Amino acid sequence: MRRALWSAVALATATALGAQTPPATTQAPVAAPPPAGAKGGTKAEFRIGGFMVSGERSYDFANRVQTATGSIRGIEVLLRGRVGGIFVRSLSGTFGKQPQVISLDARILLFPPVFTVFGGVGKRALSSSVGTPIYNVAMGGISSTVMIGGTGLRTHISGAYLIAPDPKAASGASNAVKNISKGMEGEASVFYRVPGVPLFLQVGYRTEIFTGKSAGGTAPEEVRGIRVGGGIQFGGH
């Protein structure tokens, strides 16, 4: 009888402990972190490269429009992060017997590559045997760089507005205001990132319109042509 009583107590105790034990719960699987660079346009980028614009330059001299073919060669450097960066470009070119076109500018970039607002300063010169007028240029504009899926291709468009005082009116404020030179530039191109190596290629079209004003008169001009280039790129896409 005593053995049966102890057996009943043990069985009741085991049953009570089993009732108090909470049922096992199934944990939801933890999502794997996204791969590095999954967020487009968030990686820092350093790019340096050269380019050439092959096309023509037209300008109005003494009420007569003259056009000549030629080419421009230049170097560009870009350093940017998630929300801004800097861009520097230097170029020069010749078109037949027309003056040599020389330009240098630096820009501050704000906001991500998909929509960027920029502003900067630079110099623009037309060098010839007659003289070399130099314009101190201020500029502002917008640009957009967008990836095309996982193809390694990016589209890029940009536009800027340029203004510059009369290079010979440094001592005359009224003349400097009266003879403000103005211009615009636009560019559309496609970048291709070579897989496995830090190299890129670029092809597109570029145009620039500039109307130089001075005490000697007004000299409108336009440079346009096909642009090709390439160089080294780290980061970005």
The reply to whether 80 falls in a domain is: yes
On whether residue 17 sits in a domain, the answer given is no
Q: Answer whether residue 65 is part of any domain.
A: no
pLDDT of residue 117: 98
**pLDDT at position 14, please?**
47
Question: Does any domain span residue 29?
Answer: no
Determine, yes or no, domain membership for 209.
yes
Enter the tokens of residue 23.
Answer: 């049922």
Which pairing describes strands 116-127 and 64-80: parallel, antiparallel, or unpaired?
unpaired
- Distance between start and end Cα atoms, the chain: 84
Residue type, 150: G
Question: Does residue 124 lie within any of the structural domains?
Answer: yes
Looking at residue 104, its amino acid is L
Q: What is the CATH number of the domain that holds 163?
A: 2.40.128.100
Instruction: Identify whether 18 is part of a domain.
Output: no
pTM of structure: 0.77
- Work out how many domains the chain is built from and give that number: 1
Whether 52 maps to a domain, the answer reads: yes
Residue type, 139: M
Note down pLDDT in tens along the chain; length 237 residues: 445 444 544 444 444 445 444 544 445 454 444 443 334 445 799 999 999 999 999 998 778 899 999 999 999 999 999 899 999 999 999 999 998 999 999 999 999 999 999 999 999 998 888 788 899 999 999 999 999 988 999 999 999 999 998 766 544 555 555 689 999 999 999 999 999 999 999 999 999 999 988 766 788 999 999 999 999 999 986
Distance CA 208, CA 183 (A): 7
User: What range defines the domain where residue 131 resides?
Assistant: 45-59+70-235
